[in-house]
């Protein structure tokens, strides 16, 4: 099918906490190799977006040192894996190296960084207002973790009326089954889940930030 779209690329949580040796996830014993593997693809998507002058938004997960915004301050019922992670090590603390976006994907001056305290980039942030100011109607999601923050953001985007595209080769999950489930759910219930090469091969610029997409 052919779609006329005004897209933005949304890069979720490419931070030292999750992707860098010595980051919180590495210290907690998680295998971050799956995350690191997609970094070159994310770089390619970013450069392609810049060349086409597609707006780029980064999300940055943050937590305060005081713990005032920690999820266990709100929820009594939490999965043990999540509670255990919270209790072992504070992650993405505001102002720390851990919370910074990785060096090889540093936002440019014209990019936008959305600081978030929860899984979704939409939750209690200015993101939706910024999208409306650009008249964006389609969100291209990449980043980590596929089944947590990426999926939460994608679902919220869909339910707020945006068309959503998930680039399957530019997102990763620690759990392969969870990754596959998100891909299937996106295809069946929300939008498109395709690889980045297919998307950009079939994306034709019509005018400033207006594109014709021929993907399905």
Q: Running DSSP on this structure, what letter comes out for residue 20?
A: S
Q: What is the pLDDT of residue 2?
A: 85
Looking at the chain, the whole-number percentage of residues with pLDDT higher than 90 is 79
Q: What are phi and psi of 7, to 5 degrees?
A: -90, 160
Query: Is 116 marked active-site?
Result: yes
Q: What's the mean pLDDT in 34-46?
A: 98
Residue from 116, 119, 145, 156 carrying the catalytic annotation = 116
Residue from 17, 98, 149, 163 carrying the catalytic annotation = 149
DSSP assignment of 56-113 equals: EEEEEE-B-TT-TT-GGGT-S---HHHHHHHHH---SBTTSGGGSBPGGGPPPTTSEE
Q: Is the pLDDT confidence value at 78 over 80? A: no
User: Which one is predicted more confidently, 67 or 161?
Assistant: 161
Query: Is 149 marked active-site?
Result: yes
Cα 16 off chain centre by: 14
Residue from 13, 119, 145, 163 carrying the catalytic annotation = 13
Q: What's the mean pLDDT in 175-195?
A: 97
Q: What is the pLDDT of residue 86?
A: 65
Q: What's the mean pLDDT in 12-21?
A: 98
Q: What's the mean pLDDT in 81-87?
A: 64
pTM of this prediction? Answer: 0.91
pLDDT confidence bin for 53, thresholds 50/70/90? very high
Q: What is the pLDDT of residue 32?
A: 97
**3-213 maps to CATH 3.30.360.10:** no
Q: Report helix, strand or coil for 45.
A: helix
User: Distance between CA atoms of 173 and 177, rounded to whole angstroms?
Assistant: 9
């Amino acid at each position: 099918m052919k779609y006329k779209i005004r897209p933005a690329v949304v890069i979720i949580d490419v931070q030292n906490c999750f992707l860098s040796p010595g980051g919180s996830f590495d210290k907690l014993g998680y295998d971050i190799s799956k995350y690191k593997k997609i970094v070159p693809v994310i770089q390619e998507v970013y450069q392609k977006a810049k060349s086409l002058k597609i707006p780029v938004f980064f999300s940055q997960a943050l937590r305060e040192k005081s713990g005032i915004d920690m999820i266990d301050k709100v929820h009594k019922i939490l999965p043990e894996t999540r509670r255990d992670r919270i209790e072992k090590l504070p992650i993405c603390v505001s102002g720390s190296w851990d919370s910074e976006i990785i060096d090889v994907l540093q936002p440019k001056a014209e990019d936008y960084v959305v600081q978030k305290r929860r899984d979704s980039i939409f939750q209690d942030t200015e993101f939706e207002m910024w999208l409306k100011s650009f008249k964006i109607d389609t969100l291209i999601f990449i980043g980590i973790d596929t089944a947590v923050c990426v999926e939460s953001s994608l679902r919220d985007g869909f339910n707020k009326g945006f068309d959503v595209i998930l680039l399957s080769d530019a997102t990763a999950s620690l759990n392969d089954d969870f990754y596959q489930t998100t891909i299937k759910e996106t295809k069946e219930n929300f939008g498109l889940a395709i690889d980045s090469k297919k998307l950009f091969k079939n994306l034709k610029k019509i005018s400033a930030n207006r594109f014709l997409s021929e993907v399905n």
